[in-house]
Chain A
Amino acid sequence: MKQMSDVLFLDKRFGFFLYLVVEAIMFATLFATYIIFTPAERGAHPSEVFEWKTVALTSIFLLSSSGTLLMAEKGLKNWSRKWIWVGLVTTFLLGAIFMGLEIHEFYKYAHEGYTLSMNNFLGAFYVLVGLHASHVAFGLGWMINLMIQFTKDMPRALFIEKHKIFNYYWHFVDVVWVLIVTIVYLPYLF
């Protein structure tokens, strides 16, 4: 009989990949919505709203967090507690900074009068980027939970499983961000 944890992990991984397909389609629909309504006929034009500095800064932090997560992955492979800690903590910090910048960005836009009811470009922008941001926030909570679980006595196979599933999630969220940058921001920055 095969090792239970190996087989169940493969089940779970496949199931989670299917779930990511679902997420991908949701984001795709929101991207379509954004493309259809942007730029809007009235109200703010994207080029007057977006700033390349914010986009660059947020991207640097979020994308590098995918890189630091690789350290944790390496730790999982060789079961090095040190690497797992380093990977998780740096990823969390980078993600948290991204989150802070994102909240700041939204706050600033709203402050300048660019609210989501101004026109459909902004409506679509806030729903799409907001959904992504809530994914990042959820991921941050997830990481805290992982770190606590890491300090507790948990079967190694189970921790690895939980960690790996999280990794897929985080990389997925990063890929969505790359798409957001190329589809939402870039066409209107230069």
Chain B
Amino acid sequence: MRLPIIGYVLSDVIVSWIITLIIGGFLLWWLTAKRKWPLILDYIGTTDNRKIGTMYILFAILFFIRGGMDAMFIRTQLAVPDNDFWVFQADKYNEVFTTHGTVMIFFVAMPLLIGLMNIAVPLQLGANDLAFPYLNAISFWLFVSGAFIFNMAFFFNAAPNAGWTAYAPLSNDTFTSGPNNNYYIFGLQISGLGTIFTAINMIVTIARLRAPGMKLSRMPLFPWATLVTSSLILVAFPVLTVALLLLMFDRFYGTSFFGGEFGSPVYWQHLFWIFGHPEVYILVLPAFGIFSDIISTFSRKRIYGYTSMVISITLIGLLGFMVWAHHMFTVGLGALANSVFAITTMLIAVPTGIKVFNWLFTMRKGVVRMTTPMLFALGFIPTFVIGGVTGVMLAVAAADYQYHDSYFVVAHFHYTMIGGTILGAFAGIYYWYPKMTGKMLNEKLGKWHFWLFIIGFHLTFLPQHFAGLNGMPRRVFTYTWEDGVFLFNFVSTIGAYLMGISMLFVLWNLFKTHRSGTSSVDGDPWDGRTLEWTTDSPAPEHPFPNVPVVDRLDAYWYAKVNQTNLPQTKDVRPDPISIRTFQPILLAGVLMVMSIGFIYHWMWLQILGGGSVLAFFLIRSWTDERNEAYRKGEKS
């Protein structure tokens, strides 16, 4: 089918149009029939951290389904040698793995973690909201805007196709001339801005809104991880912003930073990985924080070696900036550079190892309760250790000449990203679900989810190490019988389907929990240790009318053990001002309009969108909620 602007459309896109229309229509009907619109408007206009966090997670799940479907197409196409599955060969396949990677990193892993941070961090600190509630809503809607821009591409038959790393010069307009990679640039640029604002918000919250008595040395490990992660974001994301800006100039305005006659393709790689490597620690450190809290709670013991845990997160964060070139061992930087980066990379194993042993020793002599969140935390330990040790193997620069860009690497980073981030996010969702909704997810279904997922996971990714060692490069849409990787790939595909099936249990669980209206839970269903469990479930918009006073780590737990109550005080700093506003979603809308103008080179739309974006600064400045609040303050 050939259409104007959109071009020649293959059947996969047409099918997805039809499915989207059907599901969209059904959803509209359902929302109207069930009178859900007021609820939705309430969420759209909110600046409350719990509601925003919940929306982050909902959208992340939506994009998880999209990225997961990409994964299924990939695995189906690779199930057998010389396969011709549907349309997924050559260019289509390249689009699918590009969107799979980008969506999973930026629109699944990031929002899952940021969502959990939104929900848990202020509560764990004893704060009534994040420091800047309005900015938080802006961050969220920027993420949604970026994610929609990126995901829209497929529906307009222009999915990005240069890999999630968008290596130049392939990503330049010389070699990928369509709008495809423009979507990539703007999707990431806008959601990245949202991430930067979240990081600022988190740092200020952690620095200035902790409960009385909660010194940094008494702060739970999830906020600690959030603090380090946010600092990493602050340094890493601006580099991506500039890299994308330069790439945009290359594609739009005829510069040639990364390609052409005098450009340097390696410079793109440097910029990308100076962002990209810290990015993977940005993704994994919050998961470490979640696991620390969960393992401690469900072992009924305080975290083993708290101080060294904090030091190791910080060290991992710092070292994260000194290792980027290990993604570039084969570009010919020379033996010295390769050796230096090999050693710095290996060093990261030390603080990571400290953390693993501290987790293990937290369980020792404890009472280990096998709840669903704990199962995910337990599944994480061996899985992540495998990912970690293959990481050290990859750090051996000379050996990386063989591993590099092969399925060995694919296996490695899925072991760390799924084994760390995704298992952590699942654990966190099961753990904090009562705080989000006031209900507990079904434990039995949760365990089914865990076991199917973890078995499917290892089936999928363990064989890929061997496929890589047998010479299978990544990002290939086919292979031959002679390659000798059929068995590995076939097992891998089976595992991937198992993971897919496990996700159906999540949906079923969500459905069941909310359908059957299982009785709401009290504030502390897990017998927790940190301040979030002193509030109601779900956490109200103003969770701490009286703020608890903290005198040590896990103060709430020790209060329970000593059968006392935490002392409370009213004498605290004023809270941030939360409001209801539809400005953030409108801003997201006009940013999208502007981006489409750029993506398709429509100057009038660029000006219209850009002008409206600027207008939002004025609107914001004149509707500042502080105006009223300060006025009251001045009168009193």
Contact = CB atoms under 8 A, between A and B. Distances in A.
B263 interface: yes
B253 A4 contact: no
A149 B621 contact: yes
A53 B621 CA distance: 38
* Chain B interface main SS type: helix
B253 A117 contact: yes
B239 A158 contact: no
Interface string B218-256: 000000000000000011011101110110010001111
A128 to B, nearest CB: 10
Nearest to A156: B634
A25 interface: yes
B524 to A, nearest CB: 29
Interface string B608-635: 0000001001100110101101110110
Contacts of A30: 242
Contacts of A156: 634
| B201, B238, B631: residue with the most chain A Cβ atoms closer than 10 Å | B238
Contacts of B572: 1
B413 interface: no
A36 B131 CA distance: 39
Contacts of B246: 33, 127
B123 interface: no
Interface stretch (B203-211, B300-308, B532-540): B203-211
Contacts of A158: 624, 626-627, 630
Interface in A14-65: 14-15, 18-19, 21-23, 25-26, 29-30, 33, 36-37, 40-42
Contacts of B629: 4
Contact of B618 (A11, A33, A120, A145): A145
A157 B633 contact: yes
Nearest to B614: A141
A161 interface: yes
B257 interface: yes
A1 to B, nearest CB: 7
B482 interface: no
Interface string B553-578: 00000000000000000011110110
B570 to A, nearest CB: 8
Contacts of B201: 15
Contacts of B621: 145, 149, 162
Given A2-B573, A158-B624, A25 B630 contact: no
Interface in B106-150: 131-132, 135
B204 A117 contact: no
A3 interface: yes
Contact of B234 (A5, A22, A157): A22
| A11, A19, A33, A115: residue with the most chain B Cβ atoms closer than 10 Å | A11
Contacts of B624: 158
B200 interface: yes
Contact of A8 (B255, B271, B571, B574): B574
B264 interface: yes
Contacts of A162: 621
B242 A14 contact: no
A26 B196 contact: no
A123 B633 contact: no
A66 interface: no
Contacts of B634: 155-157
B239 A25 contact: yes
B582 interface: no
A61 B241 CA distance: 30
B193 to A, nearest CB: 10
A4 B256 contact: no
Interface string B184-208: 0000000000001001110110011
* Chain A interface main SS type: helix
B417 to A, nearest CB: 25
B203 A11 contact: no
B262 interface: yes
A118 B630 CA distance: 53
A10 interface: yes
A4 B627 contact: no
B630 A29 contact: no
Interface string A97-139: 0000000000000000001110110011001000000000000
Contacts of B576: 8, 11
| B200, B246, B618, B630: residue with the most chain A Cβ atoms closer than 10 Å | B630
B249 A4 contact: no
Interface residues on A, range: 35 or more
Contacts of A123: 249, 255-257
A2 B199 CA distance: 26
A91 B322 CA distance: 42
B234 A21 contact: yes
Contacts of A161: 626
Contacts of B239: 25-26, 29
A154 B203 CA distance: 29
Nearest to B245: A127
A157 B626 CA distance: 10
Given A4-B633, A26-B242, A40-B262, A11 B132 contact: yes
| A14, A116, A155: residue with the most chain B Cβ atoms closer than 10 Å | A155
Contacts of A127: 245-246, 249, 255
Contacts of A141: 614, 617
Given A8-B576, A11-B131, A161-B626, A116 B255 contact: yes
A7 to B, nearest CB: 5
B267 interface: yes
Given A123-B249, A155-B631, A18 B573 contact: no
B249 A29 contact: no
A26 B633 contact: no
Contact of B626 (A1, A8, A23, A116): A8
Given A11-B132, A18-B204, A157 B630 contact: yes
Contacts of B208: 10-11, 14
A173 B490 CA distance: 57
A11 B134 CA distance: 13
A162 B255 CA distance: 38
B201 to A, nearest CB: 7
Interface in B580-609: none
Nearest to B205: A11
A7 B253 CA distance: 45
Given A11-B204, A161-B626, A29 B574 contact: no
Contact of B200 (A8, A15, A26, A40): A15
A155 B627 contact: yes
A34 B201 CA distance: 32
Given A2-B574, A21-B234, A120-B263, A29 B255 contact: no
A14 B207 contact: yes
A22 B257 contact: no
28 contacts: A1-B573, A2-B574, A4-B629, A5-B633, A8-B577, A14-B207, A15-B201, A18-B203, A18-B204, A18-B234, A22-B200, A22-B237, A23-B238, A36-B267, A37-B264, A41-B262, A115-B254, A117-B255, A119-B262, A123-B257, A124-B257, A127-B255, A141-B617, A149-B622, A155-B634, A157-B630, A157-B634, A158-B626
A-B residue pairs, 5 tightest by C-beta: A117-B254, A123-B255, A155-B630, A25-B238, A29-B242
Given A26-B242, A29-B242, 11 more contacts: A8-B576, A19-B200, A22-B200, A23-B238, A26-B241, A30-B242, A123-B257, A154-B627, A155-B627, A157-B634, A158-B626
